[in-house]
Amino acid sequence: MKKDTVLIVDDFETNRLILEDILSDLYDIAQAENGVEAVSMMFSGTVIPSVVLLDIMMPEMDGFEVLELMKSNNLTANIPVLFITAADAESSESKGLSLGAIDYISKPFNPKIVRNRVINHVKLRNYSVSLEEMVREKVDELVHAKDRLLEALADVIEYRNCESGQHVKRTKDFTKIIIDYMVENPNGSRYIPEADISIIIKAVSLHDIGKIGIPDNVLLKPGPLTKEEYEIIKKHPVIGSEIIKDLLDIDKDNQYMQYCYDIARHHHEYWNGLGYPDGIGGEDIPLAARILAVVDVYDALVSQRVYKPQIGHDSAVEIIKAGSGTQFDPEIVDIFLKVCGQFKNFNQRNRS
């Protein structure tokens, strides 16, 4: 079993050797003869100690400066620091504790006190790390369970549409094609951080979640809708966004849920402001929703639905192209036209 590491930082070699002799049967020992060397070792990851024994009075960089640097770096901020102090250094001990040191050991060293204090703080450190890891695992489990629940809910909607989940899968894949191009060719307001790619693609799954509130006689009606029925179907973005808003209120800092909300609410808005439900236009429409607007219409056009037959890829491309600047963001359409060959290849592979 790998031992914990104790880093001893002291400009007097004798002090370092005495402490090493006291602790070396319990821990791996690393030594630094000054603060600069210690900081370099820790910040580079060369040494990742469980505890640091840190002298205060050192040339170049004293112990207080080392501690302040450690607390400012995520890699070292939570490593326990015990100051090495002189027997009469009460003011130094007080200052060290106020800066974040957790304890101190006095010179001349009492081996039993040194061992017991280091043992206790290593145990506390390891317990804290273990507890944090356990909490992270539980949070990850809860997030995964919530994601699966939301995806299952999206599948329910697709089954109601007689799509068996394929519309969701296709829109996710088509969205990825467009976003991959945007990430490789960043452009001002159309910039998407690479870290957001998977989040947006996952959020696409819930774009039609509001259809859970649309009656079957409207949602599954063969043939054109009446004006009244169309007004009912137009409610699904609001219904969907309200469902997601309830989840956002629970987890306000969840970027995934924010993308879910933006996409569900606004993927039927038009670039010229004549869409629904809010009648917003241009760049007031969230970017992810503007992308999904193109993707969703394309997939609807090339797919057979209860209310219409499918049309060919080339005809669908022409319809998207004709909607540039009115229904769709013209720059998203330009990107779609550059990558639509990939859409065609995907259709040929997945609809045969």
**Domain 161-350 coded CATH 2.40.50.100:** no
Supply φ then ψ for residue 312, to 5 degrees: -75, 165
pLDDT at 164 over 70: no
Cα separation, 320 vs 324, whole angstroms: 7
b/e 219-235 (16+ beta carbons within 10 angstroms → b): beeeeeeeeebeebbeb
The average confidence (pLDDT) of the chain is 88
How many alpha carbons fall within 13 Å on the CB side of residue 4?
21
Per-residue model confidence as pLDDT tens digits over 318-327? 999 999 999 9
Per-residue model confidence as pLDDT tens digits over 254-270? 788 899 999 999 999 99
Q: What is the dihedral of CA 34, 11, 24, 95, to 10 degrees?
A: -80
Strand 51-55 with 81-86, pairing: parallel
CATH number of 5-133: 3.40.50.2300
CB atoms under 10 Å from CB of 312, counted, come to: 12
In one-letter notation, the amino acid at residue 184 is E
Cα separation, 56 vs 155, whole angstroms: 62
Per-residue model confidence as pLDDT tens digits over 207-252? 998 988 899 888 888 888 899 999 999 999 999 999 888 876 656 5
Calculate what percentage of the chain has a pLDDT beyond 70: 93
Taken in order 167, 173, 178, 182, the sign of the CA dihedral is positive
Note the pTM of the prediction, 2 decimals: 0.63
pLDDT at 20 over 90: yes
Per-residue model confidence as pLDDT tens digits over 47-81? 999 999 999 889 889 999 999 999 999 899 999 99
For the chain, give every domain's residue range. 5-133, 161-350
pLDDT at 87 over 60: no
In one-letter notation, the amino acid at residue 78 is N
Cα separation, 6 vs 189, whole angstroms: 49
